[in-house]
Amino acid sequence: MSSSNPFEVLQSTEPASVTTHHYGSMGRWLFCLSFTGLLFMQLVAFVMLRMSMSLTTFLFFTVTHLVLLALQIRTFAARLKHLGYSRVWLWALLAPPMNLVLLLHCCTAPMGYHHHAKYDRRGSFCLVILLAALMLFGALVVLAA
């Protein structure tokens, strides 16, 4: 008769600080898809806001824009929880150079990055691609001016 012991102590190879921390469910690919979708909807709401002729449509698209902004901040909060950071880091979204760094970090870092500070191969590859795209975009802006 083989039955599992209900009093058995489960073993883990991770340190206690990692196993006791509860990470959220917002992975990097889900964050990228959610952030891109919300950014596109914000762009559409902004264009419609600029083209609005009546007060009613202006108020509707203003409220829509604010709701989308709140959802975007909520998405960042879920991703930062997944990385192991506190919600205080949401204030970094207000500083323009820092929010770009935070966005790159949220797109590339693996789960629990705050506790082990190591990128995996996929995150390093994505970081190189995103930094190259930013440099190319900067070069195109300089050449266009």
Per-residue DSSP letter, 11: P
Round to whole Å and give the CA distance between 11 and 70: 41
Residues whose CB falls within 8 Å of the CB of residue 70, separated by 6 or more in sequence, listed in order? none
The answer on pLDDT for 17 being more than 90 is no
Q: Tens of pLDDT along 48-96?
A: 888 888 888 888 888 998 999 999 999 999 988 888 888 888 888 888 8
Q: What angle do CA 119, 124, 125 make, to 5 degrees?
A: 150
**What whole-number percentage of the chain has pLDDT above 90?**
17
